[in-house]
Structure formats: structure tokens, C-alpha cells
């Protein structure tokens, strides 16, 4: 997922973007577990069926909202599944829902003094080994 978003030139982070000074940017992180699946991501396992949250952030609505739309189109064209290139696995990612679009009034950008705007969307990541 990270490689797909980076391939179009967006700065992309896994879990935490602390230290980043660039806008706009994307952060990909695990979300809540899927209903009925009770095991942590740290488990040693061959298969995945997990929700992943993608946060798209910018300093203006004109940068944050279109970024989220573009990232969604990359990861889930037409909101359908996207087949991922994962050696030894059959893997897909698909848009599930939009969670929130909000202004972060607790973290002003040091260079501009603007409050970042972020949008969070959930995707379902499914990966199973190929026998």
C-alpha cells in the first residue's frame, strides 16, 4: 500500500509521521480488528484480514480533501478491490468507509502557523498464502 501511494509522489509514512515537515502527506496504520477476528497484528501468521486506516493530511482543505480522493483511487479504484503484488500471497485492498475529516487544532505547522486538516478512511486488507 505504501509503495503504491509513494509511486505517485506522495510522502507516505507507516503508523507515525513525527518529524515530517512536508505537506500534504499520507499515513497508513492498523485500525481496529475486524469483527470476529481476535488476534493482534504482532501474531506470527500467514494470512491477514484487517482494517487499515489511511490518513491524508494537508494545510488547506484544497490539499487534504483531493489528496484523500486520489489516495482512495490508487488503493481502491472505483471503490472496488485492488490486487496487490505480494510474493507468495493473494492480496487485495478495498475501500470500506470514510471515518472523519477534521482540523487538528492541537498541532499547528511551525512554518506557517496553520492547523493541519486531515481525513481518515478505512480500507480492508486481505492476504492469504498461495499454495
pLDDT digits 0-9 by tens, 64-113: 999 999 999 999 999 999 999 999 999 999 999 999 999 999 989 989 99
pLDDT on residue 102: 96
DSSP secondary structure of 65-103: HHHHHHHHHHHSGGGS-EEE--TTEEEEEEEEEEEEEEE
Do 51 and 124 contact (CB within 8 A), yes or no? yes
**pLDDT higher at 41 or 56:** 56
Can you give the pLDDT at residue 20?
A: 84
As a whole number of angstroms, the distance between CA 113 and CA 15 comes to 24
Model confidence at 41: pLDDT above 80: no
Nearest alpha-carbon partner for 119 in 20, 27, 4: 27
Round the average pLDDT of the chain to a whole number and report it: 90
Cα Dmax for the chain = 53
pLDDT exceeds cutoff 80 at 46: no
Tell me the fold of 2-32+47-129.
STM4215-like (3.30.2000)
Assessment of whether the complete model's pTM goes beyond 0.75: yes
Return the CA Rg of the chain: 15
Give me the pLDDT at residue 80, please.
97
Q: What is the dihedral of CA 67, 103, 101, 11, to 10 degrees?
A: 30
Amino acid at each position: 500500500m505504501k509503495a503504491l501511494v509513494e509511486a505517485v509522489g506522495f510522502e507516505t509514512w507507516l503508523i507515525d509521521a513525527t518529524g515530517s515537515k512536508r505537506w500534504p502527506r499520507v499515513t497508513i496504520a492498523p485500525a481496529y480488528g475486524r469483527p470476529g477476528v481476535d488476534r493482534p497484528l504482532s501474531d506470527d501468521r500467514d494470512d491477514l484480514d484487517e482494517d487499515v486506516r489511511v490518513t491524508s493530511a494537508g494545510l488547506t482543505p484544497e490539499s487534504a480533501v483531493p489528496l484523500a480522493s486520489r489516495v482512495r483511487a490508487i488503493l481502491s479504484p472505483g471503490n472496488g478491490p485492488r490486487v496487490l503484488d505480494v510474493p507468495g500471497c493473494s492480496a487485495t485492498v478495498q475501500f470500506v468507509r470514510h471515518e472523519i475529516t477534521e482540523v487538528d487544532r492541537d498541532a499547528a505547522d511551525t512554518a506557517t502557523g496553520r492547523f493541519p486538516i486531515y481525513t481518515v478512511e478505512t480500507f480492508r486488507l486481505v492476504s492469504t498464502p498461495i499454495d
